[in-house]
Amino acid sequence: MEAKELRTKSAAELADELVKLRKEQFALRMQRATGQAPKPDQFGKVRRNIARVKTVLREGSADATQAATGGVRKK
């Protein structure tokens, strides 16, 4: 999943994607705790995907805030 693909989605779709990724992360942790060895690289991939989704969500809210304030940043 790339950030370019994520930017085409709405905020609601991104929120759903974030929930899905959090559930996947939880499932991986449970597998590791119960001794089922998931692929170790999956932890990092899911964590980075969560970060991508959160970044795109933040960019969207920052754009909306900037448009509402007329492009002036508040301190």
Q: Give the DSSP per-residue string, the chain.
A: --HHHHTTS-HHHHHHHHHHHHHHHHHHHHHHHTT----THHHHHHHHHHHHHHHHHHHHHHHHHHHHTTTPPP-
- pLDDT tens, the chain, 75 aa long: 788 888 899 999 999 999 999 999 999 999 999 998 778 899 999 999 999 999 999 988 777 766 777 766 655
Contact status, residue 3 vs residue 54, Cβ threshold 8 Å: no
In a domain, 39, yes or no: yes
pLDDT of residue 72: 63
Question: Domain limits at 44?
Answer: 3-68
In a domain, 73, yes or no: no
pLDDT of residue 4: 86
The CATH number of whichever domain residue 31 belongs to comes to 1.10.287
pLDDT of residue 61: 79
pLDDT of residue 74: 57
In a domain, 74, yes or no: no
Domain total in the chain: 1
In a domain, 8, yes or no: yes
In a domain, 49, yes or no: yes
pLDDT of residue 38: 75
